[in-house]
């Protein structure tokens, strides 16, 4: 196979590939920059089959480096530039990359890692004519089944696993997403998530595969996102629920233009009040459920039917061991499912069985529509009854003085586990007893939180996912 950017540049060289800080780069321009960077990396010793770390924010140079590594046939391993040195060092020890590419902002962090070969993005801008011509893999040598990227799982608990995604995984995801959402070359997809997460990386790769424009923001700023939707004719944006809340707060009484046709929202349950607020504001919200292990999207709504998240073309879903309510573990099968976990045969065998990816997430299927209930590991068993945190969180979020809520279980001598809620209030004073009484008319008795903790913020990963384990630890240490 040919590298995606090179193939795209041959087909639509003058089409806009990247819009950043008021400037536009065509696919041909991006291809030239990526090849120059590939030559510079090769001159520094990077070869095919090397694992190369990328420790950089979402900048044009970082995106070029991602494409350049595919030109070389090397494997991309993106690290989160916001992580502390101790955490990154532990991940470097797991991966053992041949080199780590970094930008100016992460240079102090890289200096603490000492992984061996480090390469600054600023050093990769030499003219192509001044660099040796490496033996780039030919289209016959670049195998679709080779590993394109290795991505760390969210790591909300324990040691993170490393999902190995092939070129074929990413391409299948791009084409299925485009078919499901009717994406074409006229679309402009705003990227304001770091490429160290599969959601951000997928947008970049899909652009090269499908030919649409990426509107790049180096960080999430709700005012800047709202301006880009208006001024830059953004048609698609991907966010997590907390980001959408900030966008709506910044939007106020204004409305988005009709050019905005999809606001993909994933990374956690969507509280009904947020959905109602978004739809009242005319926001074309489209829920999506995805996994690092499946190259991003698995089940997504459609612009014509945003309320029903169904499997993308080529993806099969199954519910394993459903309970009386039809809730069980979500299984996924299809061309987007990962090769396996890096150097972790035990975890790979547990996740990949008889062709199905066992996600560890709980959900139910109703006529092909998927409802995600939460992580099976988050399930609370209280007095022999199953309590899914997401269900309780949705109810709590409807209370007028609850901004955010996170529900989890803690050991209890009488009931096995009791339900606890950490709540960020809208305003003080906060009356926990009133919230419990309010919940009594909306939840079964065993689902009502026995303890409510008032907090100022909820701990989340860089991709916006809730860290329940951190809440449990905080509760335990306070006892």
The per-residue DSSP string of 290-347 comes to EEGGGTEEEEEEETTEEEEEEEPTTEEEEEES--TTS-EEEEEEETTS-SEETT-HHH
Query: Mind listing the domains of the chain with CATH numbers?
Result: 25-142 (3.40.50.980), 188-376 (3.40.50.12780), 380-478 (3.30.300.30)
Note whether 262 and 284 are within 8 A (CB): yes
- Give the C-alpha separation, 459 to 80, whole Å: 17
pLDDT in tens, the chain (479 residues): 999 999 999 999 999 999 999 899 999 999 999 999 999 999 888 999 899 999 998 999 999 999 999 999 999 999 988 888 888 888 999 999 999 999 988 888 888 876 578 899 988 865 655 666 666 776 657 899 999 999 998 544 456 799 999 999 999 999 999 999 999 999 999 999 888 889 999 999 999 999 999 999 999 999 999 999 999 999 999 998 888 989 999 999 999 999 999 999 987 767 778 888 898 899 999 999 999 999 999 999 987 777 789 999 999 999 999 988 899 999 999 999 999 999 999 999 999 999 999 999 989 999 999 988 877 778 788 876 778 888 899 889 889 999 999 999 888 876 778 899 999 999 989 999 999 999 988 888 889 999 999 999 998 876 677 888 888 877 544 43
Q: ∠189-181-275 over CA atoms, to 5°?
A: 80
Distance CA 359, CA 173 (A): 17
- pTM of this structure: 0.84
Please calculate the CA angle 280-285-287 and round it to the nearest 5 degrees: 135
Structure tokens at 186: 């006229």
- Neighbour count for residue 107 (Cβ, 10 Å): 14
Residues 6+ apart with CB under 8 A from 212: 183, 184, 185, 186, 187, 188, 189, 206
Tokens in use for 417?
Answer: 């586990």
């Amino acid at each position: 196979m040919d590298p995606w950017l090179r193939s795209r540049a041959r087909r639509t060289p003058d089409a806009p590939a990247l819009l950043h800080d008021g400037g536009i780069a065509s696919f041909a321009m991006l291809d030239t920059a990526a090849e120059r960077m590939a030559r510079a990396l090769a001159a520094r010793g990077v070869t095919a089959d090397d694992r190369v770390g990328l420790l950089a924010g979402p900048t044009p140079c970082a995106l070029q480096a991602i494409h350049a590594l595919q030109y070389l046939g090397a494997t991309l391993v993106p690290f989160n530039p916001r992580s502390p040195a101790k955490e990154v060092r532990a991940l470097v020890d797991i991966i053992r990359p041949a080199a780590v590419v970094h930008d100016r902002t992460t240079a102090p962090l890289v200096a603490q890692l000492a992984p061996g070969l480090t390469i600054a993005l600023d050093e990769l801008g030499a003219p192509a004519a001044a660099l040796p011509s490496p033996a780039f893999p030919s289209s016959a040598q670049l195998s679709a089944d080779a590993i394109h990227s290795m991505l760390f799982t969210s790591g909300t608990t324990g040691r993170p696993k490393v999902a190995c995604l092939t070129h074929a995984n990413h391409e299948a995801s791009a084409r299925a997403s485009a078919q499901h959402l009717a994406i074409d070359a006229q679309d402009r997809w705003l990227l304001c998530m770091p490429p160290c997460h599969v959601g951000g990386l997928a947008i970049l790769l899909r652009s090269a595969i499908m030919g649409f424009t990426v509107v790049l923001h180096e960080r999430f700023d709700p005012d800047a996102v709202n301006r880009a939707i208006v001024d830059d004719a953004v048609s698609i944006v991907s966010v997590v629920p907390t980001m959408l809340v900030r966008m709506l707060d910044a939007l106020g009484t204004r409305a988005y233009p009709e050019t905005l046709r999809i606001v993909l929202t994933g990374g956690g349950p969507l509280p009904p009040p947020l959905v109602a607020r978004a739809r009242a504001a005319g926001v074309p919200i489209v829920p999506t459920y995805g996994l690092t292990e499946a190259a991003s999207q698995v089940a997504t709504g459609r612009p014509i039917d945003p309320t029903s998240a169904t499997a993308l073309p080529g993806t099969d879903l199954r519910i394993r061991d459903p309970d009386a309510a039809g809730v069980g573990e979500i299984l996924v099968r299809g061309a987007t499912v990962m090769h396996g976990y890096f150097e972790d045969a035990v975890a790979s065998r547990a996740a990949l069985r008889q062709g199905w990816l066992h996600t560890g997430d709980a959900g139910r299927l109703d006529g092909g529509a998927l409802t995600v209930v939460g992580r099976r590991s988050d399930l609370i068993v209280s007095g022999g009854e199953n309590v899914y945190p997401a269900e309780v969180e949705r109810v709590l979020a409807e209370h007028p003085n609850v901004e955010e809520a996170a529900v989890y279980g803690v050991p209890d001598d009488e009931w096995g586990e009791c339900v606890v809620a950490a709540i960020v209030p809208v305003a003080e004073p906060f009356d926990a007893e009133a919230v419990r009484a309010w919940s009594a008319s909306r939840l079964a008795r065993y689902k009502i939180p026995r303890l409510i903790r008032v907090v100022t913020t909820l701990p989340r990963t860089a991709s916006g996912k809730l860290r329940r384990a951190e809440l449990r630890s905080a509760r335990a240490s306070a006892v």
